[in-house]
């Protein structure tokens, strides 16, 4: 059974709540945050709290032990995002970042600082909702994450 974790502090298109989605011989743990459109109305302190809650779903992770990690990294919370990626990725996991252009230089630096195992970068507009969903659909359909998906 191949297992992948999809995690974003922003939304994942069409996914309203944390869930496990199964395909043939594969399983995706999907932990969405709050869609960008709703973010704007949320107090920054509460937003940060939600991000932190999202980042500590250890029970789910221990239960499923995903070997593939797909994470959105945007403009905010880079320190938290890289800290989490480092914790989850270990030394042998396949790591995919869905990344917007914001702070792209800083993101590359952080990959080096955190010694992350050669992450794959997938370009997206800010928020990453569509690309996260496209990669999820690709994984469920094929069991692998290969191409840079078109933005929908």
Give residues in contact with Zn ion (CB under 5 A).
74-75, 100, 102, 126
Give me the least distance between CB of 126 and Zn ion, in Å please: 3
Closer residue to Zn ion in complex, CB, 94/123? 123
Dihedrals phi, psi of 10, to nearest 5 degrees = -95, -175
Angle between helices 104-113 and 78-89 (to 10 degrees): 40
Q: Distance (Å, rounded) from C-alpha 141 to C-alpha 59?
A: 26
Give me the least distance between CB of 33 and Zn ion, in Å please: 14
Closer residue to Zn ion in complex, CB, 24/44? 44
Closer residue to Zn ion in complex, CB, 42/126? 126
Closer residue to Zn ion in complex, CB, 72/139? 72
Give me the least distance between CB of 60 and Zn ion, in Å please: 27
Are the CB atoms for 147 and 31 separated by under 8 Å? no
Alpha helices in the chain (DSSP H): 36-39, 44-54, 58-64, 78-89, 104-113, 129-142
Give me the least distance between CB of 107 and Zn ion, in Å please: 10
């Amino acid at each position: 059974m191949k297992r992948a974790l999809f995690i974003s502090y922003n939304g994942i298109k069409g996914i309203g709540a944390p869930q496990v989605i199964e395909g043939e011989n594969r399983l995706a743990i999907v932990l969405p945050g709050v869609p960008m459109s709703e973010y704007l109305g949320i107090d920054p302190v509460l937003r940060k709290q939600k991000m932190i809650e999202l980042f500590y779903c250890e029970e789910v992770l221990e239960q499923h032990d995903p070997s593939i990690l797909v994470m959105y990294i945007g403009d905010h919370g880079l320190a938290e995002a890289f800290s989490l990626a480092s914790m989850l990725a270990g030394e042998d996991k396949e790591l995919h970042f869905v990344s917007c252009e914001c702070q792209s230089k800083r993101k590359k630096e952080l990959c080096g600082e955190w010694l992350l195992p050669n992450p794959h970068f997938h370009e997206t507009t800010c928020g990453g909702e569509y690309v996260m969903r496209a990669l999820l659909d690709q994984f469920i359909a094929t069991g692998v994450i290969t191409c840079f998906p078109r933005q929908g």
